[in-house]
Amino acid sequence: MKLHVTAVIMAVVVASTVWVLGDEVKTAASPVPTLKSSEKAKWLTSFSEAKTQASKRKVPILADFSGSDWCGWCIKLDKEVFSKSAFTDYASKNLVLLMVDFPRKKHQDAALKQQNEKLSTQFGIEGFPTVLLLDSDGNVLARTGYRPGGAEVYVKHLQDLVQKK
């Protein structure tokens, strides 16, 4: 009898956990594969290369000003948006991606640090993450940052910003 009661209690606990956590339990049990942002849509670090590609492809540049290894909102944006296939599929066809990173732990060469500092000053970056949509000449089309809702919502937001310009 004691074993039966213990089994019932365990079943109730597990069922309650599934009910409370919902999709998170399913994700933990059977992870949905996500793509790293670099697997489908390549992130450039050279501003001049990004402008060249944007000009050739006739698409805007999405510049992500980030503290990739220390900024909580930057990490959240990458995890929830930039690393998801909904974003990478859209970006690979419609954007040139530029990472303007200000890491604290990762090594960057002096030229890249200098370029990123210059871009930060040029575009008046005051916090991270700041996401800019730029034309192929480097002119600002739109300014945004982290937004809740995941990759699909973020892609729609980007599409709306591009259409306004």
**Structure tokens that stand for 13 in this block:** 């606990």
**Structure tokens that stand for 109 in this block:** 């060469």
CA-nearest of 97, 101, 93, 89 to 34 is 89
pLDDT the model gives residue 34: 37
Strands (E), 88-128: 96-101
pLDDT per residue as tens digits for the range 5-14 = 444 444 443 3
Quote the CA–CA distance of 118 and 129 in Å, as a whole number.
17
Quote the CA–CA distance of 58 and 124 in Å, as a whole number.
25
Percent of the chain topping pLDDT 90: 74
pLDDT the model gives residue 29: 34
Across the chain, what does the average pLDDT equal?
83
pLDDT per residue as tens digits for the range 55-104 = 999 999 999 999 999 999 999 999 999 999 999 999 999 999 999 999 99
Rg (CA), the chain: 21
Q: Are 128 and 74 in contact (CB under 8 A)?
A: yes
Give the chain's domains with CATH numbers: 1-32 (no CATH), 34-164 (3.40.30.10)
